[in-house]
Amino acid sequence: MCHELKIKSVKLYKASSKLAKPISDATHTLSEISFIVFRIQLENGILGASYLLSFQYSPNAIIGALKDVIPVIRGFKANETGLVFQQLDGLAEYFGNQGVLRWSQAAVNIAMWDAWGKYLGQPVHRILGTQQEKVSIYGSGGWISYTIDELIEEVTGYANRGFKAVKIKVGSPKPGADLERLRLVREAVGDEVDIMMDANQGMDLPSAIRLSHGAKDLNIHWFEEPVHHQDFQAYEILKNQTGISLAMGEREYDTLPLRELATRNALDIWQPDILRIGGVEAWRESAALAKSFHLPVLPHYYKDYDVPLLCTVSNGIGAESFDWIDPLIDNPLVVQDGYAKPHDLPGWGFNFLDDQLTEIK
């Protein structure tokens, strides 16, 4: 067993999802929807893989970070996720344990869990222990760059597919545009669908307060990243002055902001990003810390990893859904009546289609 579980080789690939035109939130314009796939092969031939959402940002930096880990992890066994994380953490300390080096640690970790699950013939969520069988899932998007027709088409499309909640972007530079868009979305989806709003850190505190007050009659479920993620005092003031539920966590590489905001009673939903936080164990540790503050977990973006992991914790309340990788993989998650169930197949339960991958040399 020991020899056959060892990591023999690693390959990197790029995959892309179709994007008709650039899309924008309050702080970024995205010109491509791209992914880097990190695939390991064990001595026994088993493949384990992970992916990260890369967009058009710093391709040489993230690819370089991923290439740097390859010689380090060869020879480790697929189940030695903690040992590998510690090894990479020590090597990353000089240039910093956050940023692209943390992403590379997480990519390794997630691929190792995939390979370990395939070796055992079990899904990751069963290895870790299942606490719930399905989780609610919301439709995400609502880009500021959308026309009103595009916005309404997207949110009604989610509602027609059985989603019970949608999230749209706010932080438009046009006065009154955010509130108008929110009102039109409420009219389009009715009162049975929850609406959330996400500023992607693109607002200042006075603007966030005005929007929160202005949208009170629209029954906004929560407000995500209204201001800079490290402006803890602003979160506290916004919460105290408006009472709106606040969500954040996707930018975080550790749990210090979670602890800071929770002690200020300025956070209602913790949103870890599995690539930034460091992988499976770090994700679950952050969920446990959130539970100690009686906070629910609703992670950022990676539904194909998050749905299984949410089923292993008691405070997981939902996942975010984009359809971007669905055409690129062999087994997309199915959403039914606003819920998604983890796959029953071993590991993470899905693989990228080889004809959608371009190897990175």
Query: Is residue 41 in a domain?
Result: yes
Q: Is 16 helix (H, G, I), strand (E, B) or coil?
A: strand
Write out the two tokens for 161.
């597919």
Same-domain check for residues 175 and 273: yes
Same-domain check for residues 47 and 71: yes
DSSP letter for 26, please.
Answer: S
Same-domain check for residues 130 and 51: no
Residue 175 is predicted with a pLDDT of 87
Where in the sequence is the domain holding 44, given as residue range(s)? 7-121+355-360
Query: Is residue 59 in a domain?
Result: yes
Tally of structural domains, the chain? 2
For residue range 126-167, list pLDDT tens digits in order. Answer: 999 999 999 999 999 999 999 999 999 999 999 999 999 999
Same-domain check for residues 335 and 226: yes
Residue 1 is predicted with a pLDDT of 59
Same-domain check for residues 67 and 130: no
Q: 0.85 cut: is pTM over it?
A: yes
Same-domain check for residues 67 and 161: no
What is the rounded distance in angstroms from the CA atom of residue 250 to the CA atom of residue 292?
19
Same-domain check for residues 248 and 130: yes
For residue range 253-296, list pLDDT tens digits in order. Answer: 999 999 999 999 999 999 999 999 999 999 999 999 999 999 99
Same-domain check for residues 188 and 321: yes
Residue 179 is predicted with a pLDDT of 97
CA-closest candidate to residue 302, choices 140, 194, 159: 140
* Element (DSSP H or E) covering residue 290: helix 280-292
Q: Is 260 helix (H, G, I), strand (E, B) or coil?
A: helix
Same-domain check for residues 132 and 116: no
| 223-to-40, 326, 357 alpha-carbon distances in Å | 38, 27, 36
DSSP string computed for 116-165: HHHHHTSBHHHHH--S-S-EEEEEE---TTS-HHHHHHHHHHHHHTT-SE
Same-domain check for residues 238 and 327: yes
Q: Is the dihedral of CA 92, 93, 96, 97 positive or negative?
A: positive
Same-domain check for residues 155 and 274: yes
Q: What is the CATH number of the domain that holds 88?
A: 3.30.390.10
